[in-house]
Amino acid sequence: MVRSRLTLQTIDLHCGGEPLRLITTGYPPVPHVSILERRRWVRDNADHVRRVAMYEPRGHRDMYGAVLFPPFRSDADVAVLFMHNEGYSTMCGHGTIALATALVEEGLFPGVEPETMIRFETPAGLVIARGVTRRRDGGGLEVTEVRFTNVPSYLAAQDLEVRPDGLPLAGEATDRGSLRVDLAFGGAYYGVVDASDLGLRVEPSAVEALTRAGAAITDLLRRDHVPEHPTDPDLSFVYGTIIIDHEPGTSPDGPLPDADMRNVTIFAEAEVDRSPCGSGTSALLARAAARGWMSPGDEIVNASITRACFKGRVEGETTLGSQPAFVTSVAGTAYLTGHSTLVADERDELGEGFLLR
């Protein structure tokens, strides 16, 4: 018998290739307080569970996870805390799509046809997911698509001039001697840059160069351009960088004629999002609306480095505190990949997890 200091049971899914490991049992009791307070408590008191579930040898640098709690807000069905290689996200779009899928298909939430609504209490605010459902031959429900309405999103800064040391520039950025970066919020703050200014295309063979560039830009933004969230200081940090390829129809690994753009998001500690990034897509929608490139009702198809696509839509205008903002929604699909029992043997010196690279 394994002498375990920790045993976790999980449901594993992917959304656009990006993993979501949902911890279902084995998580320690957490105080029944708001999700932001839970986020702080977990970071200080239960971070070893994140490392066991996310890190090697059971996970990897790009693993992503979540744990659910009873809601604190009266208007929510469930509270969620997202986790990754560095800590705990404030919002996650691919995770919301995967969670809604898992909850309905695994019978953990009462699903109904033709649509099931689940209201998630996230650290960034209330996120409402609507899963399109249909009856399987065996009697259970399956989810064919999830669209979530995100927290209010907005353009925080535009045309920031940055020059990360050692990062090659291309095109107009070479003439300027700097990168132009927008900073946009979609539940988390992202720098937004054009791949052409880096001399790169968003496609799998360029992932190492894209990761280096995204991490370098994120580090510089975190140092010199710290955002101020309108209502919650805990959200006032740069989460990652979105690198956009505006010509998906000529992608080197094959054209994506139905996509309006292709992106890769580098977040946390140089983690690579395989999906088109849901909160990032909201940030891009708010950026486009603020710049006058989109209007309420307009839609885009955003492709990822894996060629998976999210559909994004500007739903309308709103405010976030006193900040003018936009209501956005994002749609995608997720699929179950397995059920796991993870064990940390009390004799194992590496059992709490490590990251080699």
Catalytic residues: 92
Q: What is the rounded distance in angstroms from the CA atom of residue 334 to the CA atom of residue 126?
A: 21
Structure tokens at 80: 């969620």
Single out the residue of 13, 149, 128 nearest to residue 71, CA to CA. Answer: 128
Q: What counts of helices (H) and strands (E) characterise the chain?
A: 6, 17
Residue written as tokens 């739903």? 315
Is 287 in a helix, a strand, or coil? helix
**Going by DSSP bridges, is the β-strand pair 125-135/271-272 parallel, antiparallel, or unpaired?**
unpaired
Single out the residue of 106, 67, 79, 49 nearest to residue 337, CA to CA. Answer: 106
> Using an 8 Å Cβ cutoff, are 126 and 120 in contact?
yes
Longest distance between any two alpha carbons in the chain, whole Å? 65
Q: Which ranges constitute the DSSP H helices of the chain?
A: 35-45, 47-54, 93-105, 172-176, 207-224, 278-290
DSSP 200-251: --SSGGGHHHHHHHHHHHHHHHHHH-----SS-GGG-SEEEEEEEES-GGG-
DSSP 196: G
Q: What is the rounded distance in angstroms from the CA atom of residue 130 to the CA atom of residue 148?
A: 6
